[in-house]
Every structure is written in C-alpha cells, then in structure tokens.
Structure 1
Amino acid sequence: MTPATRAILWMILSCAAFAALWTCIRIASADLHPFAIVVARNLFGLMWLTPMLLANPGLLRRDRLPIHLRRAASGVIATFATFYAVAHLPLSTALAINYTAPLFATIGAVFFLGERIAWRRMAALAVGFTGMLIVLHPGTTPFSAGLLAALVSALTTAFSIIAIKKLVGADDARAVAAWSFVLTLGPSLVIAAPFASVPPAHVWPILVLLGGCAALGQYALAQAFRHAEASAIMPYDFVRFGLITVAGIALFGEAVDARTLIGGAVIVSATIYLAIRESVVARSLKPSASPDT
C-alpha cells in the first residue's frame, strides 16, 4: 500500500470518527449541557489513548510543549464552541461554518507567521467567505447563540491549525493527538464546573464512545497528514460533510435546504483549493524563487 493510499484511508477513517463524534454530542446533549460533554470528551478520549502513552513513555516531548500549549489554548475554546454549536444548530449548518476554519487560518498565517498572500489565494478566500454568507444568509437567518458559537469555533480552530503547521514534521503524530487531550482536560473541568451534572445511566456508554471517537479522529487525522500533503487528502474531507448531513437527516429529522448544501460545497471547494495551492507553492519555491503570484 502506497503512502498516498494509506493517507486517504486514514482521512476517511477520521471523517467517520468525527461524524460519529458529532452524532454522540447531539444525542448526549438531550441530557447534559454541552460544556459537560466537553469534559467527557477529554476524559474518555485520554482514557482511550492511555495504553499508547504507557507503551511509549517518551512520546510526549517537553521541548515542544510551548507550541502544544498555544494549540491547546485555542483548542479549549474551539472545543467548547463546537460542542455548543452542534447541540443547538442543524448539523449541516454547524459543519458548513466549521469548514471556514482553514480560511481564517490562511489569514492568520499572514499576520502571525509572516506568510505572503497573492491574488489566487485571495480569490479563494473570497469564494470561501461567499459560501459562508450563502449558509448564514444574513438578514433572513435569525442570529443565535448557536451561530455565534459556530463562528467562534471556526476562528479558534484556525489558531489551532496555525500551531499545527509549526508542529508538522517536528513531533510525532501520536503526540500531537495526545497533547490535545492531556493539556485540555484540566481547563475544561474548571470551565464546565458550573454546568456539571451526573449523567443518567443510559448516557455513560455514549460518553465513552464519544471519547473514543474523538481520540480516533484526532489520531487518524494526524496519521493522514503524516503520510501525505494536505492537498492530497483534503478532497476526501467531503466524506465528513456527507456523513454528518445524512446523520442529521436520518437520526434527528433535520431538514437540509439547498442553501446550506451549496454554501457548504463552496466553502469546502475553496478550502481544498487553498490546500492544493499551498502545496504547489511549497514545492516550487527555491531560495531564489519568488512567492505565490
């Protein structure tokens, strides 16, 4: 099996795990506050990863801790915002807005990493944000706490993406996944404390499964990026959009309008183009070469 094939399979597995995760969030939110579900995500996700950490005692390197801390800081906010959005919005709408995170990350890379942005990438950004406007349809869609949470989730996820860019090639993919649980468990306990409650008996298996899906999704995604460039695997992220949309329709009776589907497709297409363009530029740039034009 070639590295590209392995990367695609890992990406599809990640999509399936995250789709199952969002489904578990929606089910558990009927009995628990979304913030309490975040704690379960971090606690049980870390539990699933513990055997791997025990088998590899030197996996969590402290020399990369500052970057992991920056990623965790944005990741805590992103996780709380995402879980709240999933609990209060149609799944397809929450996902479409979540897909704008790489667009925000591209803008953030200009300010925080000193990257240059040329007209092709600017055009892709414009297309992507047009897709978000199609989904939100300002003036007709009531603005809610769920929509605000989805936007906050996209923005803070963008900062996590920027941090991950610095980690790629410098740390083990398994460590990247594990740190996201180790460093966020404590803060999530503090933030969610006012919303804590004892889950009913029938919710516990869902929470354990939820943690497993989160751990598997993070691990599979890290492995996918380990075996191939983003441009090669991002197109397969459409699988996540399809699975989550079908779950919303089949399990929760959600009505998905054409506006959400079209806007989501536009956003994902722009994100894929950005990934491909960044890959092309990275391969073509040489010490004497000029940046993307």
Structure 2
Amino acid sequence: MVVAAIFFALMGLFVKLGAQHFSSTELVFWRTLIGALALGGAALWRRERFATPLLRYHLQRGVIGYVSLLMSFYAIAHLPLAMASTLTYTSPMFLALLSVVLLREKLPARAMLGLALGFAGVVLLLRPTLSGDVWFAGLMGLVSGFLAGWSYLHVRELGRQGEAEWRVVFYFALISTVGGLLLMCLERWHAVTWDNAWLLLGVGVTATLAQLAMTRAYKVGRKLTTANLSYLTVVFSSLLGALVWGDVLTGDSLLAMGLIVVSGMLASRR
C-alpha cells in the first residue's frame, strides 16, 4: 500500500504537469487506455476468461468511477496537489454514509464521529476556495470523492459475488476508455508529440502500477491497516506539491486535511 500511495501521488504529479498540454478528458482517456491495454494483454497472456455474468455491476461501477476520475483530474489540474488528493480521499466517509442510506447499515458511534470530523474538515478545507476563483475545482474534487465512495459499493458487491480482481480493474479501465473516447469526439484533440507523450505515459503507467499494488495490498494484507496506509498518498502529494510548485499549506489547511484523514480511518473501522 505504501508503494501504491507513492505511485498515486506520482500520477497526480503527471496529471498536473499534463494539464498544461491536454484537457482532463484526454488525460483520463490516455490513463485508462494504457491500463486497459496492459491488463488486457496480461490477461490474454495468462489465457484468462473475459466473460462475466456480472456485466451490469461492471457497467454501473465503470460509469460512476469514470465520472469520479474525470472530476478528480480536473481538481488536480486546478488546485494544489495536496488539497485535490485530500478531497478525493473523502470517499471512505461517503462510502460509510451511502452504506447507511442505501444499504440500511448501522454505523457505530466511532464511525459517526468520523463522519462529523470529516465534514468539518471538508468545510474548513474548502472555505478559502469558495471566496476565490477555484471554487468550482474544489466542488469537483468533493463530488469526485462522493462518486468514488459510491463506486466502491459496486466494487464491494463484485467482491461478494466472487468476481476476479483483475476483471474488476480491467472492466473499469475499458468502460472509462470507451467513455473518454466518446467525450473526446465532442472536443478538440491536442496533438501528442515527443515533447508531451512522456506525460501521458507517466499518467498511465503510474496509475496502473498503483492500482495493481493497491489490489495486491487489499488481497494479502489486513484491510484496516491497508486502508489507513492509503492516506500516505496525501502526505506524498503534499511533499511533491511543495518540491515541484512550492505549495505552502496554511495551518487551517493542515488541520482540515488531518480531520479528513482521521475521518476516513474511523469510517474504515466500521
């Protein structure tokens, strides 16, 4: 999970750099295309079966996850890297909330406290953006976290149905690639050149390696420990933002990020 956190942070770095040359739609397209080709090629090499009786769940998860990824990339392009990453990691608290609303699950007091802390952190983190010109990017980051939490409900259901992990990741990448291709037909494509191709390759490779490392971590590790370690992405993103762009986080921002991280940890313990 530590390896996954490093690669997710590096993916954010490549996304932010790539946003100078490509739209968020294009970045998501190339990111998922590379993942679909890599995972599909590996599956063909191992002679895996692509057929699945759970296509409906894959489609639902793929569409929701794709929109979440699109909004996440937009937030990364327009916000400090650490802030955008933190908003994306509101997904565990939204997952807990949706489990109550949609699945009628009961949350312990500890998880309810986590939700309260998390929403307080969101308000504190977004407060500066609401009075500036990046409020829309902050909203997109928050909605991305909500949709990611919703998509994890489908991932959990796929796991309960016994779906192979590689198929869960592959169909998400495939559906997102098709969705990206359709959207890109509605906007102008930016030329891929030797000067910017490395950015697209960086986004795709780091995202795929991060996804594989995360899947492996959840498969062989303790679920709670793995979930908590995932928040290292926020730490690594903060370091990259400071090193590359000189981002300086205020005391309020650090407090807000801490509240959101603690919220996710408490929500994961339910």
Relative to the length of structure 2, the TM-score reads 0.92
Task: Pick closer, same or farther for the CA change 1:223–1:60 going to 2, 3 Å.
Answer: farther
Cα gap change, 1:199 to 1:253, in 2 (>3 Å): farther
Deviations 1:8-48 (A, max 9, x none): xxx11111111111100011111111211111111122222
Give runs of aligned pairs for residues 218-229 of structure 1, distance below 5 A: 218-229=211-222
Query: Is the counterpart of residue 88 in structure 1 residue 81 in structure 2?
Result: no
User: Tell me, which stretches of 5 or more residues in structure 1 are unaligned?
Assistant: 1-10, 279-293
- Which of 101, 106, 115 aligns to 1:125? It is 115
> Residue in 2 aligned with 1:288?
none
Structure with greater Cα Rg: 1
One-letter amino acid matched to 1:77: V
Deviations for 1:225-269, whole angstroms, at most 9, x for unmatched residues? Answer: 111343121221232111111111111222222222221111111
| Cα root mean square deviation, aligned | 1.8
Residues 119 and 260 in structure 2, CA contact (< 8 A), matched pair in contact too: yes
Are residues 1:253 and 2:243 paired? no
Pick the aligned partner of 1:214 from 207, 216, 224. Answer: 207
Q: Which amino acid aligns with 2:78?
A: H
Which of 32, 39, 59 is residue 42 of structure 1 equivalent to? 32
- How do 1:53-202 and structure 2 match up within 5 A? 53-137=43-127, 141-142=131-132, 144-169=135-160, 170-193=162-185, 194-202=187-195
Structure 2 residue identity aligned to 1:185 = T
Do the aligned residues in 2 keep the contact of 1:177 with 1:215 (CA within 8 Å)?
A: no
Counterpart amino acid of 2:169? A
SS in 2 for 1:63: coil
Label 1:202 to 1:32 Cα distance change in 2 as closer, same or farther (>3 A): same
Where has structure 1 moved over 6 Å in runs of 4 or more? none
Distance in 1 (CA, whole Å) between partners of 2:14 and 2:221 is 29
SS at match of 2:142: helix
CA distance in 1, matches of 2:188, 2:250: 33
Deviations 1:198-234 (CA, angstroms, capped at 9, x unpaired)? 1232111221121111111111111111113431212
Unaligned ranges ≥5, structure 2: none
The one-character-per-residue Cα deviations of 1:69-121 (angstroms, maximum 9, x if unpaired) are 11101111001101111001111111121121111111111222221234332
Query: Equivalents in 2 of 1:227, 1:239: separation in Å?
Result: 19
**Structure 1: distance between partners of 2:170 and 2:37:** 10
Separation (CA, whole Å) in 1 of partners of 2:246 and 2:12: 15
The CA deviation string for residues 174-218 of structure 1, in whole angstroms up to 9 with x for no partner, is 222212111211111111331422123211122112111111111
The letter of the residue matching 1:220 is A
Conserved? CA contact 1:60–1:179, under 8 Å: no
- Identity, % of aligned positions: 22
Q: Aligned partners of 1:140, 1:150: CA distance in 2, in Å?
A: 13
Supply the distance in 2 between the matched residues of 1:139 and 1:147 (Cα, whole angstroms).
7
Residue correspondence of structure 1 range 248-287 to structure 2 within 5 A = 248-276=241-269, 278=270
Q: TM-score, normalised by structure 1?
A: 0.85
Deviations 1:148-183 (A, max 9, x none): 211221111111111111122522222222121112
123-132 or 172-181: which moved more? Answer: 172-181
